[in-house]
Amino acid sequence: MATFETKAKGELSIFTEGIWRHHHQEQNLMLIPDGTFNVVVINHEALIDNEPVGRGVYFIPVLTRAVMISSDQPIYGLRLKIFSLHNLIQCNNIDVRQTRDVFKISIAQQLSDYVFNGTKDAEHLSECDRVLENLNYELLHKNYQVNPSLRDRVNYILDRKGNIQIQEMCREFEISRQGLHKSFKNSLGVGPKELSSIWRLNHYLWRLQHEDNFTSCAFDAGFYDQVHCIKEFQSKLGLSPRKFTYLNITSVPYIHSTIEKRFTNFYDPD
């Protein structure tokens, strides 16, 4: 596997799934819609969806389509739980309306020097763990208080792997559809229905790791039929499920690994 991660520790584990490192120089890093967002450290020139970017710390939003990152040098990142976006927005003056786009985060020069010097020549993930953990802390600016209602609503969808009915969710949390949608959009940049479709698609990918019957996996994940599944899959990943299964990209095993960990509560705080 060309992408490695360390599980976030301590109080960061409430907000962050993992610290990761991608070091394969010949293949792209593929980020798919998975109900998380990333902060990526690029120490040299790279390409994000074939657009050149310079050295910097980049915000990769809660994705609704696959994004490809390529560089001839290692790339480092933090993968954060979706409800943490509320904390990061508040602390860094990020406009939630921009969360559809990849953009460079402005950080203090001292922190910038610390991050780039600490990751520049690192040979192993463990060497830059502390650097990336400190970046994680600084991005949250000690705002370590979780919004409990937002977290509960997000986890309601995650626990059901995206297979939900919005009306039932509204009854569960005693909130109107409009109120639920507004709370998600204002804090996360995506609506509850959109997030549920992302995690349902992830569940489908997870099922395909254990069974090779595409139709059966689609039904198990809550799709009406295989046509519905393929259409949604292609809209978010840009190719069919069968083509994704045979995709020769080194980050694909890592994608499957993180989905399985997420659905088996590996990333929940101890």
Q: Does residue 99 carry a pLDDT above 80?
A: no
CA distances in angstroms from 156 to 126, 195, 241, 269, listed in the order given: 33, 11, 26, 16
Q: Are 83 and 72 in contact (CB under 8 A)?
A: no
Same structural domain, 102 and 177: no
Round the average pLDDT of the chain to a whole number and report it: 89
Q: What is the pLDDT of residue 2?
A: 80
Strand arrangement of the beta sheet that strand 67-70 belongs to: 29-31, 67-70, 46-48, 51-53
In a shared domain, residues 189 and 134: no
Same domain as 168, residue 111: no
- Residue 155's closest CA among 233, 94, 84, 237? 84
C-beta neighbour count of 93 within 10 angstroms:
7
- Tell me, yes or no, whether 222 and 202 share the same domain: yes
pLDDT tier at 1, thresholds 50, 70, 90: low
pLDDT in tens, 145-157: 889 999 999 999 9
Does the residue 36 lie in any domain? Answer: yes
* 124 plus 232 within the same structural domain: no
Last residue of a domain, one of 103, 123, 140: 140
Q: What is the pLDDT of residue 96?
A: 60
Residues 218 and 172 in one domain: yes
Q: Which of 82, 107, 140 is the last residue of a domain?
A: 140
CATH number of 9's domain: 2.60.120
d(CA 103, CA 137): 20
**Are residue 195 and residue 135 in the same domain, yes or no?**
no
Q: CA–CA separation, 217 vs 207, rounded Å? A: 6
Number of structural domains found in the chain:
2
Residues 124 and 190 in one domain: no
Mark whether 133 and 165 lie in a shared domain: no
> Which single residue is written with the structure tokens 């039929």?
225
CATH number at residue 233: 1.10.10.60
Question: Which has the closest alpha carbon to 167: 193, 191, 190?
Answer: 193
Is the residue at 257 inside a domain?
yes
206 and 86 both lie in a single domain: no
270 falls within a domain: no
Q: 39 or 224: which carries more pLDDT confidence?
A: 39
CA dihedral 60, 64, 65, 71 (to 10 degrees): 10
pTM of the model: 0.92
In this structure, the answer to whether residues 136 and 8 fall within a common structural domain is yes
| % pLDDT > 70, the chain | 92
Q: In terms of domains, do 38 and 80 share one?
A: yes
Print the domain residue range for 210: 148-263
Q: What is the pLDDT of residues 11-30, one digit of tens each?
A: 999 999 999 998 876 678 99
Tell me the CA distances in angstroms from 250 to 22, 26, 270, one per residue in order.
Answer: 10, 9, 30
Max CA distance (Å), the chain: 53
Last residue of a domain, one of 112, 140, 168: 140
